[in-house]
Amino acid sequence: MIRLLRELQGRLREAGLPEGEALDLLALAAGLPRKALLLRLAAPPAEGVAEKAFALLKKRLSGYPLQYLLGEVEFFGLPLKVAEGVLVPRPETEGLVELALALPLPPRPRILDVGTGTGAIALALKRHLPEAEVFATEIDPKALALAQENARRLELPVSFLLAPLTGGLSGLDLVVSNPPYLPEGYKEVAPPELRFENPLALYAGEEGLAVARPLAREAAKALKPGGFLLLELAPENVHTLARELQGQGWEAEVLRDLAGRDRYLRARRPPQEAVGQEGALRGPEVP
């Protein structure tokens, strides 16, 4: 199978795609885990494996995401099922989880992941903060069902809500989200992989802040005084929202991802006296 693997690698390289994906495609075609495939590379491919591998390659070269072909992606050490039309968790979002885990949260924090998609953020936080009460909202029923399936498989109890933004929750210590943040104009230059993901999870108006802005307004009511808002945004718009929140009395700062790009917004809700009486901000709490 070494010759077949090299041919797949060459085709991927010519297309500007990582040649390391060839091993994933070949393993999928052979019906074997990657490790098992590595032990059998010296053997000839079984009947039909080459045909399946080239069919998978053709689909991948069309721009179809590798994660959808595999049906699974690893996020913060968790194996998550993924499906076409639901946002694929990105490595940058793992940085958002790391920032959340570094916050000075209370011993039993109430956490909300807004726009949960596959459930990646909520499930990673529940795994590493088992004492936390974790909620997750989503407006896409397909994505919500996938997140619930991932939670069952991983045996991580998260309360999922089919609702927009904060879903009317209150008394929260942390609101975290990877909301849609790409400007609509980005569609003209977007890589082909994005065609297969839900545009509602990607694009957010002319500036890319059509979701993040109302989310911040709701977070001001949903968070306890001194609670945290943590967002992943685009380098082009994260400073804009940070300045707006600072003008509203929030403590807000922009943090960089591993590639050195301005990516994350970490903000702290103003103390009670800066935003009015707490009773006017709180809605019904979820037991």
- Which one-letter DSSP state was computed for residue 195? G
Q: 115 labelled as ligand-binding?
A: yes
Q: 178 labelled as ligand-binding?
A: yes
- Which one-letter DSSP state was computed for residue 199? G
- Which one-letter DSSP state was computed for residue 182? B
- Distances, alpha carbon 201 to alpha carbons 79, 88, 181, in Å: 21, 10, 8
Q: 138 labelled as ligand-binding?
A: yes
In this structure, which amino acid lies at residue 29?
A
For the four alpha carbons of 240, 243, 249 and 255, in that order, the dihedral sign comes to positive
Strands 110-114 and 172-177: parallel
Coil/strand/helix, residue 155: coil
Q: 18 labelled as ligand-binding?
A: no
In the numeric block, which tokens belong to residue 22?
């060839």
Q: How many CB atoms lie within 10 A of CB 208?
A: 25
Q: 119 labelled as ligand-binding?
A: yes
Helix (H) or strand (E) holding 4: helix 2-14
In the numeric block, which tokens belong to residue 90?
């990105």
Q: 118 labelled as ligand-binding?
A: yes
Q: 166 labelled as ligand-binding?
A: no
Closest alpha carbon to 50 in 73, 26, 32: 26
Q: 179 labelled as ligand-binding?
A: yes
Helix (H) or strand (E) holding 54: helix 49-61
Distance CA 228, CA 66 (A): 34
Residue by residue, DSSP assigns 260-282 as: S-EEEEEEEPPPHHHH--GGGT-
Helix (H) or strand (E) holding 7: helix 2-14
Distance CA 278, CA 287 (A): 19
Binding residues for substrate: 178-181
Which residues are annotated as part of the binding site? 115-119, 138, 178-181
Numbered residues of the known binding site for S-adenosyl-L-methionine: 115-119, 138, 178
